[in-house]
C-alpha cells in the first residue's frame, strides 16, 4: 500500500517538473484537437494557390496542335492533385489571334479554336465538382480592330463614334502627323491612320488592338456588362490585363495631346523604353475604374449570394501606385493587385539580403488588413528556372508557399520547365515579329509559352498533331508530369508536399511572418502562431555549404526542430530532428522545419488550455496507481 502511494506521489512530482520544463517555449506546440473554427474569418482566396493556364499550350483535345477548353477540363484533376485552389485562364474569347487572344473581337463568345460555349459550361461543371474555381482574363484596355464596336466606330455610327480614342492628327507644313510622339509597347508609333474614318486611332499595343475610350460612360457600362455576363456563367473572378494603360491623359483645350519626354538611356526611337510614359500609364482615373469593377462584383454577390468574387490586377507600376489598387477608406479595389517583385527585382546574382528586401518591400507597403500575394512567373516573362536557375525552382516554390497570403504559379513552374529557344522562322509572338532577326530574342515571349509537358510520348502528351503551334521543349522526356510523379523528391512532388502542408497548417495560413537574411547566402522565413506550431523555411541561395546557428537570429526557437519538407539536395530527411544551434545546408538546399510539440490542446469554458503530453501520461499513471492501491 505504502509502495503504491509513494509511486503516486513520485508521479505527481514528475508532473510538476514536466509542467516547469515545458514553460520556456509556450508557443511551440501543435493542437491535437480543434479549438473552434480558426479559419472562419479567412476567405477562400486569401491563402489560395492560384494557377495560370495559357490555354493554347495546356492540353490539346482535338489534335489541331493548339490547346483548348476540353483539354483543360480533361486535366483539371491534375490541378486538384497538386493542391490548386483556382485557375486563371488567359483569354478564351473570339479573336483573330493577332496577339493570341488579347485582341478580342467578341467579349462574350468563346473562340472556335478553343471550343464552344457548351465546352465552357462543361469546364465549369467539372471545376465545380473538383472544387476548383475559374478566373477569367478581362482585357479592358482594347479590343480587336475586327470587333463590331470598332467597325461601327470607324464608320461614324453615333452610338459607337467615341468608343475608341480617335484624333485627326497634327498638321505641320501642310503635312499630317500623328497626334503625339507616343510609342506602342510593341514598338513604333501608338497611332494608326484609318483610311475610312480619316483619323488616327490610339493603340498602345499592336495596331490591331485599338484602345477603348474610358472617358465615354457607354464604354464603362459596356465593359461592366461583360463582367456581369461571365459572373452569371459562374466564374469566381477576373484577372485584369494591362490595367495601367486603360486611361491616357485627356487632350488639352485645343484638343491636342502632349508629347512624352524621352529617356536618355534608350537610343532606339522605335523602342517603348525611348519615352517616359507619364501620359499613357498610371493615370489617376484608372484606380477609380478598378474600384467601380469591384463594385460590380460585390453587387453581383449581394444579389446572387455565394462566395466572394475577386479581382486580380496586372500592374508593374511603382509600389505606391500598386498599393492603391487594394482600395481606400471609402472604396474596395482589387483583392489581389499582382505582386511582381520576385520577377522584377530578383536576378540570378541576387543574394539573401536582396530576397529579404524584396519580400519585405511588399509586406511593409501593403495597407493593414490586406492580403499579400507572390507571383514567380507568367506568360510574358522568362520562366523562373531560366531566370533564376533550375536548381532554385524548389526553393522558390517553397518561398511562395510559406510566405503569407496567396501565390500564383504559371503552368509548368511546378515541374521545373524552362524557356525553349525558338528560331526566327518559328517565332509567332507579335512583340518579337515587329522587330527583326538580329534582336527578336530580347522581345519574344514564345520561349515561356511552349506546350505543357505531360508525358514522354509524342508531343509530350500535349497533342497528337504533326505540328504543335509552338515547338515542344527538347527536354520533355526528362521533365514531364508522368515521370516526376514517380520520383519522391521531384519538383512536382515537392510542390505537392508544400501545398498539402500549407492547407493543413493554421500557422502557414494565419501566422505572423518574419523574413530575415541570416547571411549573404541563407534566407529564413519564420511563421508563428500562438497555440500552434512554428515553421521555419530556409533557403541556401548559393553554391557553398552553409552552417548556421538559428537561435542567434531567432532566440525563441526551441533546441530541436523537426524536418517536414526537403528537396533532392538535402542530406537530412523528413522526420529528422535537428539541433537549432548547428544546422548545415547543402548548396542550393532548402528545408522547412517545424517546432516539435510538447502539448495537447483542449478547450474549457470557451478558452484554449494547454497540457503537456508527458503530463497527460503521468496523470494517467497516477490514476492507475491510486486505483490499484484500493
Residue ranges of the domains in the chain? Answer: 49-143+219-260+277-415, 144-213+261-276
Q: Read off the C-alpha cell for 127.
A: 471545376
Element (H, E) at 562: strand 560-565
Q: Which residues pair with 526 in a beta bridge?
A: 514, 536
* Residue 131 near residue 85, CB atoms below 8 Å: no
- DSSP secondary structure letters along 536-553: EEEEE-SSS-EEE-HHHH
Q: What angle do CA 93, 66, 49 make, to 5 degrees?
A: 70
131 given a catalytic annotation: no
Nearest to 284 by CA among 315, 313, 324, 311: 324
* Alpha carbon 539 to its chain's center: 20
- The more confident residue out of 619 and 237 is 237
What's the average model confidence in pLDDT over 551-562? 96
What's the pLDDT at 601? 40
The length of the chain in residues reads 630
| Secondary structure of residue 93 in the 3-state scheme | strand
CATH fold for domain 144-213+261-276: Oligo-1,6-glucosidase; domain 2 (3.90.400)
What's the pLDDT at 40? 56
What's the pLDDT at 339? 98
When pLDDT is cut at 50, 70 and 90, the band that residue 609 belongs to is very low
* Residue 527 near residue 511, CB atoms below 8 Å: yes
Q: How many CA atoms lie within 13 A of 340 on its CB side?
A: 18
| Helix, strand, coil percentages in the chain from 3-state DSSP, rounded to 5 | 30, 20, 50
Catalytic residue among 99, 241, 414, 419: 241
Q: Return the percentage of the chain with pLDDT > 90, whole number.
A: 88
What's the average model confidence in pLDDT over 464-472? 97
Q: How far apart are CA 21 and CA 14, in angstroms?
A: 10
Model confidence at 608: pLDDT above 70: no
Catalytic residue among 31, 68, 314, 419: 314
What's the pLDDT at 39? 45
Sign, CA torsion 328/247/91/53? negative
When pLDDT is cut at 50, 70 and 90, the band that residue 7 belongs to is low
Q: How far apart are CA 276 and CA 272, in angstroms?
A: 9
* Residue 189 near residue 270, CB atoms below 8 Å: no
Q: How many CA atoms lie within 13 A of 247 on its CB side?
A: 16
Q: Read off the C-alpha cell for 297.
A: 462584383
- DSSP secondary structure letters along 40-78: TT--TTTT-EEEEE-GGGT--SSSSSS--HHHHHHHHHH
What's the pLDDT at 436? 96
What's the pLDDT at 614? 45
What's the pLDDT at 623? 54
Q: How far apart are CA 82 and CA 481, in angstroms?
A: 11
Q: Read off the C-alpha cell for 351.
A: 543574394
Q: Return the percentage of the chain with pLDDT > 70, whole number.
A: 88
Q: How far apart are CA 573 and CA 571, in angstroms?
A: 7
Q: How far apart are CA 352 and CA 361, in angstroms?
A: 14
When pLDDT is cut at 50, 70 and 90, the band that residue 630 belongs to is low
DSSP annotation of 279: T
- The more confident residue out of 612 and 183 is 183
What's the average model confidence in pLDDT over 526-532? 96
Tell me the C-alpha to C-alpha distance, in Å, between residue 416 and each of 208, 340, 482.
35, 19, 14
Q: Read off the C-alpha cell for 252.
A: 488639352
| Secondary structure of residue 176 in the 3-state scheme | strand
When pLDDT is cut at 50, 70 and 90, the band that residue 417 belongs to is very high
Q: What angle do CA 108, 110, 115 make, to 5 degrees?
A: 165
414 given a catalytic annotation: no
Mean pLDDT, the chain, integer: 91
When pLDDT is cut at 50, 70 and 90, the band that residue 41 belongs to is confident
Model confidence at 32: pLDDT above 50: no
What CATH superfamily is the domain 49-143+219-260+277-415? Glycosidases (3.20.20.80)
When pLDDT is cut at 50, 70 and 90, the band that residue 544 belongs to is very high
* Residue 325 near residue 310, CB atoms below 8 Å: no
Q: Ramachandran region of residue 58, left (φ > 0), alpha (ψ -120 to 50) or beta?
A: alpha
What's the average model confidence in pLDDT over 571-593? 97
How many C-beta atoms lie closer than 10 Å to residue 48's C-beta?
A: 23
377-411 pLDDT, tens digit each: 999 999 999 999 999 999 999 999 999 999 999 99
Q: Read off the C-alpha cell for 102.
A: 488579347
Q: Which residues pair with 167 in a beta bridge?
A: 200
Model confidence at 332: pLDDT above 90: yes
Amino acid at each position: 500500500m505504502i509502495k503504491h502511494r509513494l509511486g503516486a506521489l513520485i508521479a505527481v512530482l514528475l508532473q510538476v517538473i514536466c509542467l516547469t520544463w515545458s514553460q520556456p517555449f509556450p508557443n511551440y506546440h501543435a493542437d491535437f484537437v480543434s479549438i473552434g473554427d480558426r479559419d472562419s474569418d479567412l476567405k477562400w482566396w486569401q491563402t489560395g494557390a492560384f494557377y495560370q493556364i495559357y490555354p493554347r499550350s495546356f492540353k490539346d483535345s482535338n489534335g489541331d496542335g493548339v490547346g483548348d477548353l476540353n483539354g483543360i477540363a480533361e486535366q483539371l484533376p491534375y490541378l486538384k492533385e497538386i493542391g490548386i485552389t483556382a485557375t486563371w485562364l488567359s483569354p478564351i474569347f473570339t479573336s483573330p489571334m493577332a496577339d493570341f487572344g488579347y485582341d478580342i473581337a467578341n467579349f462574350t463568345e468563346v473562340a472556335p479554336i478553343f471550343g464552344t460555349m457548351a465546352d465552357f459550361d462543361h469546364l465549369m461543371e467539372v471545376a465545380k465538382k473538383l472544387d476548383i474555381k475559374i478566373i477569367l482574363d478581362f482585357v479592358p484596355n482594347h479590343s480587336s480592330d475586327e470587333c463590331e464596336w470598332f467597325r461601327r466606330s470607324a464608320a461614324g455610327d453615333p452610338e459607337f463614334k467615341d468608343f475608341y480614342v480617335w484624333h485627326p492628327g497634327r498638321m505641320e507644313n501642310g503635312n499630317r502627323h500623328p497626334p503625339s510622339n507616343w510609342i506602342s509597347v510593341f514598338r513604333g508609333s501608338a497611332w494608326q491612320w484609318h483610311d475610312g474614318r480619316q483619323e488616327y486611332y490610339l493603340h498602345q499595343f499592336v495596331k490591331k488592338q485599338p484602345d477603348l475610350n474610358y472617358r465615354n460612360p457607354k464604354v464603362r457600362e459596356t465593359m461592366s456588362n461583360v463582367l456581369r455576363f461571365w459572373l452569371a456563367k459562374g466564374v469566381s473572378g477576373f484577372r485584369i490585363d494591362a490595367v495601367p494603360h486603360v486611361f491616357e491623359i485627356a487632350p488639352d483645350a485645343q484638343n491636342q495631346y502632349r508629347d512624352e519626354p524621352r529617356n536618355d538611356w534608350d537610343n532606339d526611337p522605335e523602342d517603348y523604353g525611348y519615352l517616359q510614359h507619364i501620359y499613357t500609364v498610371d493615370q489617376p482615373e484608372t484606380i477609380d475604374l478598378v474600384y467601380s469593377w469591384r463594385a460590380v462584383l460585390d453587387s453581383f454577390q449581394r444579389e446572387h449570394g455565394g462566395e466572394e468574387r475577386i479581382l486580380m490586377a496586372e500592374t508593374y507600376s511603382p509600389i505606391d501606385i500598386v498599393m492603391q489598387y487594394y482600395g481606400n477608406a471609402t472604396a474596395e479595389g482589387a483583392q489581389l493587385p499582382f505582386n511582381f517583385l520576385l520577377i522584377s527585382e530578383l536576378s540570378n546574382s541576387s543574394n539573401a539580403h536582396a530576397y529579404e528586401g524584396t519580400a519585405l518591400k511588399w509586406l511593409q507597403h501593403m495597407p493593414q488588413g490586406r492580403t499579400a500575394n507572390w507571383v514567380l512567373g507568367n506568360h510574358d516573362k522568362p520562366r523562373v528556372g531560366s531566370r533564376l536557375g533550375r536548381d532554385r525552382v524548389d526553393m522558390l516554390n517553397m518561398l511562395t508557399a510559406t510566405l503569407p497570403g496567396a501565390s500564383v504559379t504559371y503552368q509548368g513552374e511546378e515541374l521545373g520547365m524552362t524557356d525553349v529557344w525558338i528560331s526566327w522562322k518559328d517565332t509567332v509572338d507579335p512583340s518579337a515579329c515587329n522587330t527583326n532577326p538580329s534582336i527578336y530574342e530580347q522581345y519574344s515571349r514564345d520561349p515561356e509559352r511552349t506546350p505543357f509537358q505531360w508525358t514522354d510520348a509524342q508531343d509530350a502528351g500535349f497533342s497528337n498533331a504533326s505540328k504543335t503551334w509552338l515547338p515542344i521543349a527538347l527536354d520533355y522526356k526528362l521533365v514531364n508530369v508522368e515521370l516526376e510523379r514517380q520520383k519522391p523528391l521531384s519538383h512536382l512532388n515537392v510542390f505537392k508536399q508544400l501545398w498539402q502542408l500549407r492547407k493543413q497548417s493554421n500557422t502557414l495560413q494565419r501566422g505572423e511572418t518574419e523574413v530575415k537574411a541570416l547571411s549573404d547566402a541563407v534566407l529564413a522565413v519564420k511563421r508563428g502562431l500562438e497555440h500552434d506550431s512554428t515553421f521555419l523555411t530556409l533557403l541556401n541561395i548559393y553554391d557553398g555549404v552553409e552552417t548556421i546557428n538559428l537561435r542567434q537570429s531567432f532566440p525563441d526557437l526551441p533546441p530541436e526542430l523537426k524536418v517536414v519538407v526537403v528537396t533532392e539536395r538535402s542530406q537530412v530527411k523528413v522526420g529528422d530532428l535537428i539541433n537549432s544551434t548547428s544546422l548545415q545546408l547543402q548548396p542550393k538546399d532548402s528545408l522547412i522545419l517545424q517546432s516539435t510539440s510538447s502539448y495537447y490542446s483542449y478547450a474549457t469554458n470557451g478558452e484554449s488550455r494547454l497540457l503537456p503530453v508527458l503530463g497527460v501520461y503521468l496523470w494517467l499513471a497516477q490514476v492507475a496507481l491510486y486505483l490499484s492501491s484500493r
